[in-house]
Structure 1
């Protein structure tokens, strides 16, 4: 028979009392064993483990490289002993060669470093310590130029005695010093005990480090989908955390022209998606400065002669004729590789007058020694062949309508644009980048492109011999390996998604002095500010280690450090995608 209600209430109350398990915090305990942080079999219930037995504290000193990313290229020794400290007791002694600008650069770098430390303790470093840390930073060169020739190397010597920690960072340039501070931040981690947060640092370390490749890039496409400044800045922060040094800004395409040109305002007026989706000169200057402070040079890409539609379609209305042809023409497959169609009109001299003014604006914003990327891929000859004005112009030059004739037109276009750029810059030493294309075919490239001026960015499969053939001819090459480093793949068509280990294991060829480095490319058809972080990170960091230290080990050896780098990016407000279940993160070696 049913129990009386009063009996049921008493029973439930008694059960709830008996089931009131302790809600006190408990922890797993970790110890470093053969380069892995091993979790104890049983949780250390109701007692606080030593700080060094917490997982992220274990990681900064476990293994030859701790949690450093990218792996240093030179001698690396990290102590297993840990000290706790509070950021208020960290002091800086600067010995910077050069002018006030150089000194201010390093001061700002230390502020960024400290901000990163606060993220490690979730913005509230409440656990105090008597440990004092003095960071001495010394540079030996006044050179403030950021190019492929910049010396980015540095050394760190960290030692301790009693409650004193001494850190010596030495570098030739301020950019090497910046990298040294980034590495120092990775010898430090936050920890939590009883709801309070503190910082821990290794007691001793010696590191000698410099990049293997001079070009370590990431491409963002802001034409297909506009990316606001904050989204780009987050990307730059992730690049700085991974020691990438080139932001390749694919700013324009046939979809939109979001760059404001003071001399040619029609480009963004007719090319931007809206008045709010425009990069004004002040925005561009802000991005360049933000990147520079993080050791990143900005390489602007103005795509052409293909991939040029919206932004160029106003010429006739202003009495300049057709600056571009086939703009938004249908059926699009007859006129371009991807809609909307559009291709610059090499037969219209007014096109080059407009480009002259645009180049002047670019030079005003970027330094005269800056590299310029002029696109140059996927020129679609049927577009030009269907344009009566261009065909008539070709006939007047004695050209027919064969592939060879259209290659000649394309070559003339490149020659004219290069001369125009040189005239605005005032010299002929600025490198020009181009994508690999029909014009870079090793059988004909020397006819059209000077190897001393042009750098070819190849976007072919890793098995393709094109890069090696160009290198053997003396061209400088940057690799954007399509089937490893194209981060948009896997989201459209029959393309494959390349996990971080595939990105990491893509090696560049040895034995060619013209290999400048590589890039990952985040093409923007299916990415905007809301999905950007997860599609870029942490895969871009995997490429960063490949081009920084070019390790002779595989991604398997880097797995634990990659997991920690992903966590580090997240702590720095970069929404990197998860690459493993948390159980795997807490149990080294079980999910390899």
Structure 2
């Protein structure tokens, strides 16, 4: 009662209350002494009432509860009652026996039925049904590769080692114990035939062979490949044969399958992921996380849609005005050194970077400096209203095709991009969603009856010439361009040579554009909006105009989309596919969950293309197998620091097959 009354008194009245209540100073000293004695008794009670040491409680597991990536791991002491047994190639959850023997769900999953590899290998694959424990300190590395591949492979092994380290769950409050070691050394050997190949092309052989076996007292993992890229993929697969068993050795242990043989090669040479950094700026560190996820899933083309009508954040040495006028803020830019660093970061992970500056549409902010530099108007329709008349989304803007200075600026842009990326086989010039009404209303028309498709086509032809000049007079083998009305007959064959352009078909899978391009003999990259646009389904972001591409594409839709459907004509013309993330409603905060694990589902489609009998006579994979493997892959990516979207309730993971 007394403390409650004191809390109601204003602070300035509490001192006078004590003086009236306690009387003489001696009374106050006696009161304080009593309070101190009570406090000491309370502390002694709390000390003796502590629970006994966890080491004295048998058959208990310390289950980690990770509060955040950067926080310490906290552990709750519980009696874990479940174990998993392999029955009919499926892990079944059961109550643990009285002996306290536990088989973890991960160990059961890795040894029961499915390979748990992602993406699924395309060649003969045999995995052992037993596992052995080891410690990361046992890892050693050997390679006969020479430079420049040697340095790249050594870096790949360092990443492999780091991925293994990320699996380890340190148990708090556990007694120190010597890690279980079922063999002497774990020796990883990498052999490549061509040490000079460290630049990816569409003809690069990315195949590999992995053999894992015991030799005497050592575990030997041997990766054999034609070049660095295949070797890197082999090390990625080897890392997926390793897991952490929280029940092993009392405090947990690394485990690996006792033997394995994998032959693997991708079905498609181009396995891309497009990220837009113009609608919302994405820091370099966020883009590096994208590359980490791509490497984990063997995707190999990072298509960087770096600019659009909203912003131009790329600082180009030859045309710095674009970023000066077009970035959201001075710190929201990509410098030349940052681009080069990102390109090398990607290459070390088996990925090439293709930078796209989209023209003649999707330009605007960043391009308005022409008059100040004496170059005239480089663009038109910039930020005009009502926007719906002149572009697909605000703000509007298109290149001024009648200004000859435009093409000089484009040549400088293209030269800088080639120098920054080192990429000269594939070059993307954009080319989609030109609004003819913008040109009709804002051009200084010398001939009002000119066919505006001819204006569009002639602009594209000149842009292709400038790409050639920027590349030292040699046309890149594949100049990419988005599908559009210009890539339809009769303009397709009038302006675009099938031997010079690679068309990225983004329309719906039921549209006629893809089969028409294929039947016309054009090389195609498929990015169908109704399956592989990962930004769709989040509602509209503006008041006028509906959402562009509802509904949401779940991972199952991404995975099951197979537009070529085994057609040999398609397989000849389709060089690969690309999933796309436009960022009107995504930024660095939501980036990971927009991508993963849906982009992983896409990755297996373009690496393995499972769905028919594989080349080694294996029947079509069951949907239960796919669910189990993608859940395992999601857990791997989480351990590498990626924030994956949840697939289903955790109960479904602990009870395989019961949610299907």
TM-score by length of structure 1 reads 0.91
Contact residue 26 and residue 45 of structure 1 kept, 8 A: no
Whole-Å separation in 1 of the counterparts to 2:107 and 2:408: 60
Whole-Å separation in 2 of the counterparts to 1:555 and 1:536: 21
1:85-100 aligned at under 5 Å gives the runs: 85-96=134-145, 99-100=146-147
Q: SS of 1:177's equivalent?
A: helix
Whole-Å separation in 2 of the counterparts to 1:38 and 1:160: 29
Deviation for aligned residue 1:45: 6.5
**Aligned equivalent of 2:188, options 135, 152, 159:** 135
Q: SS of 1:196's equivalent?
A: coil
Match of 2:568 in 1: 511
Deviation for aligned residue 1:35: 2.9
1:20-59 aligned at under 5 Å gives the runs: 23-40=77-94, 42-44=95-97, 47-49=100-102, 53-59=103-109
**Against the structure 1 CA distance between its residues 442 and 55, is the aligned structure 2 distance closer, same or farther, given a 3 Å change threshold?**
farther
**Against the structure 1 CA distance between its residues 436 and 137, is the aligned structure 2 distance closer, same or farther, given a 3 Å change threshold?**
same
Contact residue 368 and residue 425 of structure 1 kept, 8 A: no
Q: Which runs of 5+ in 1 are unaligned?
A: 1-16
Match of 1:179 in 2: 233
Match of 1:560 in 2: 628
Whole-Å separation in 2 of the counterparts to 1:314 and 1:127: 65
Whole-Å separation in 2 of the counterparts to 1:472 and 1:588: 44
**Against the structure 1 CA distance between its residues 130 and 429, is the aligned structure 2 distance closer, same or farther, given a 3 Å change threshold?**
same
Q: SS of 1:108's equivalent?
A: helix
**Aligned equivalent of 2:327, options 248, 268, 272:** 272
Contact residue 157 and residue 235 of structure 2 kept, 8 A: yes
Contact residue 442 and residue 466 of structure 1 kept, 8 A: no
| 1:541 to 2:590 alignment | no
TM-score by length of structure 2 reads 0.82
Match of 1:103 in 2: 150
Structure 1 residues 540-586: Cα deviation after superposition (integer angstroms, max 9, x where no partner):
00010000010024644411001111111111110000011000011
Q: Larger Rg: 1 or 2?
A: 2
Whole-Å separation in 1 of the counterparts to 2:92 and 2:512: 44
Contact residue 280 and residue 586 of structure 2 kept, 8 A: yes
Whole-Å separation in 1 of the counterparts to 2:475 and 2:170: 50
| 1:168 to 2:222 alignment | yes
Structure 1 residues 176-202: Cα deviation after superposition (integer angstroms, max 9, x where no partner):
000000000000001223873421000
1:397-416 aligned at under 5 Å gives the runs: 400-401=449-450, 405-416=451-462
Contact residue 36 and residue 62 of structure 1 kept, 8 A: yes
Whole-Å separation in 2 of the counterparts to 1:556 and 1:375: 40
Deviation for aligned residue 1:62: 2.2
Structure 1 residues 295-325: Cα deviation after superposition (integer angstroms, max 9, x where no partner):
0111111101000011111111222111010
Structure 1 residues 461-502: Cα deviation after superposition (integer angstroms, max 9, x where no partner):
122232121111111001101111100111122601111111
Whole-Å separation in 1 of the counterparts to 2:506 and 2:233: 29
Q: How many corresponding residue pairs?
A: 559
Whole-Å separation in 2 of the counterparts to 1:27 and 1:313: 67
Deviation for aligned residue 1:46: 7.6
Q: SS of 1:385's equivalent?
A: helix
Deviation for aligned residue 1:128: 4.0
Q: SS of 1:148's equivalent?
A: coil
Whole-Å separation in 1 of the counterparts to 2:236 and 2:408: 45
Whole-Å separation in 2 of the counterparts to 1:573 and 1:498: 24
Deviation for aligned residue 1:126: 7.2
Q: SS of 2:601's equivalent?
A: helix
Contact residue 339 and residue 421 of structure 2 kept, 8 A: no
Match of 1:303 in 2: 358
